[in-house]
Structure 1
Amino acid sequence: MCELESGAALALPGGIGISKLTVYDAEAPDGLTGGTPHVHLACSEGYYVVTGTGTVQSLTTKGYTETPLRTGTVVWFEPGTIHRLVNGGELQILTLMSNSGLPEAGDAVMTMPPEYLTDRTTYLKATALTGTGADRTASAIARRDLALQGFAVLRGRYEAEGPSALDDFFAAAIRIVRPQLADWRARWEQGARRLADQTGAALDALEAGTAPHLRDAELHHLPTPTEGGRHGMCGHLDIYDTQA
């Protein structure tokens, strides 16, 4: 663990997390290539498109949209946005995640069909990855294709029922993640909340005509990813983890 003198974990500016995402290029049953549809419950997420083209499909209580992606595009979305990345060709993205990367560290529920959302144990069994190498990739793609079935159900229900069609999925997602909330809160307190408090303290000091924090400044760097090629929901991830 990298630590400050206070004993608090290092964090990137604003308490964000970053990772490089190479979006899956395996074809799905609907003929498209890409990642697993899912939702974040507490965190926002942003994309900067490094290279390639594609689309992000999104479903919220306001409806379904498709947003084009190309090199240089920036998009971001709030918790409650169900999203799926579609790879139009060589799509690589720098993901920017609030709360020290919590979206990739637990704050996500995939759009599994309703029978897999009945309880946490059933959900975790359905979404667990197995094997190594090519076998693990096959497991990730099978998980994606199952989530696409649930995504299709949600889109169909939305067309028929409107915003209330998402209520059951959101309620199930909350039940699934509730045991994780203490860990999420700790990550938030040690990251984004702590940095916001530090900014407040710096402003107070500057208003008083002092700046003791300037004498403690340091430069930090991560020369290489903490982990490369992790099988994520949307593709292969190169992780930069300041929590490690």
Structure 2
Amino acid sequence: MRDPLPGAVGVSKLCVYDTATPDGLPGGTPHLHLCCTEAYVVIGGTGEVQTLSGQDGFAEHELRPGTVLWFTPGTIHRLVNHGGLEIIVLMANTGLPEAGDAVLTFPLDVVRDPERYAEAVSLPDGGAPGTDITTAYRRRDLAVRGFHELRDGGKLDEFYEAAVRLKQPLLGDWRERWEQGAREAAERTGRQIAALIDNDPAHLRESRVSTKPVPDEVGRLGMCGLLNTYRYD
């Protein structure tokens, strides 16, 4: 694609996992994002998202077709599938989620140990379509266990601190991706406004259309379910 999506967001279609987790609820892997706001547009089925955030604590939010829900970085979120739950997912800062912006809610002793975390989070072939789905279920179930410990044990701040330490080696790359993506998109709008103030329509003459007729991947093993993904490079 020649141009990023509006605001340099990323978009994917998510079919939420429907197998039971250790507490009996079917659904996805609890996790948070360190820099990226995430939004859901529900297009099919029903369910809920359980959240644990610094301001609101634990909460449950109903999801049904037509629901739009979004949350800021630091919000731990866990999707629960009551039947056929399908979502269009919008992610801020395209490129950052793919570069490791998420931290799964494994027990604290795992998150505090980079080697153990890397082993627990990894999937064969990176979770490419066709990968054994039970590997995604295993890491999900470990994260559900850690989620309950955070929800019931009042150790959210400790988890935040461990998550930040875990991702320190990646922050330089994240900054570069942000500068080339979301920051550049915002600054481009600033340049366009400045041009309009000067009665200069030059950027309008460069207007064009981009399209992705089909996903680049279908059925990638994501944290919350099977993903149909699109690349924007």
TM tier, smaller: over 0.9
Identify which of 115, 122, 134 aligns with 1:121: 115
In the alignment, is the contact (CA less than 8 A) between 2:49 and 2:78 conserved in 1?
A: yes
Tell me, in whole angstroms, the C-alpha distance in 1 between the residues paired with 2:203 and 2:182: 18
Tell me, in whole angstroms, the C-alpha distance in 2 between the residues paired with 1:208 and 1:87: 52
1:141 aligned partner: 137
Amino acid at match of 1:66: E
After the TM superposition, which residues 50-61 of structure 1 pair with which residues of structure 2 at under 5 Å, given as runs?
A: 50-61=43-54
Q: How far apart are residue 117 of structure 1 and its match?
A: 1.3
In the alignment, is the contact (CA less than 8 A) between 2:129 and 2:219 conserved in 1?
A: no
Is 1:43 aligned to 2:39, yes or no? no
Q: How far apart are residue 102 of structure 1 and its match?
A: 2.5
Amino acid at match of 2:212: L
Q: How far apart are residue 187 of structure 1 and its match?
A: 1.8
1:71 aligned partner: 65
SS in 2 for 1:229: strand
Q: Which runs of 5+ in 1 are unaligned?
A: 4-9, 159-164
TM-score, length-normalised on structure 2?
A: 0.94
Tell me, in whole angstroms, the C-alpha distance in 1 between the residues paired with 2:4 and 2:123: 29
After the TM superposition, which residues 1-244 of structure 1 pair with which residues of structure 2 at under 5 Å, given as runs?
A: 2-3=1-2, 10-61=3-54, 62-130=56-124, 136-158=132-154, 165-243=155-233
TM-aligned CA distance change 1:101 to 1:23, over 3 Å: farther
Identity %: 51
Aligned length: 230
SS in 1 for 2:200: coil
In the alignment, is the contact (CA less than 8 A) between 1:18 and 1:101 conserved in 2?
A: no
TM-score, length-normalised on structure 1?
A: 0.90
SS in 2 for 1:55: strand
Amino acid at match of 2:220: R
Instruction: Spell out, residue by residue over 1:8-45, the C-alpha distance to the aligned partner (whole angstroms, 9 max, x if none).
Output: xx311111000000000111111110000001001100
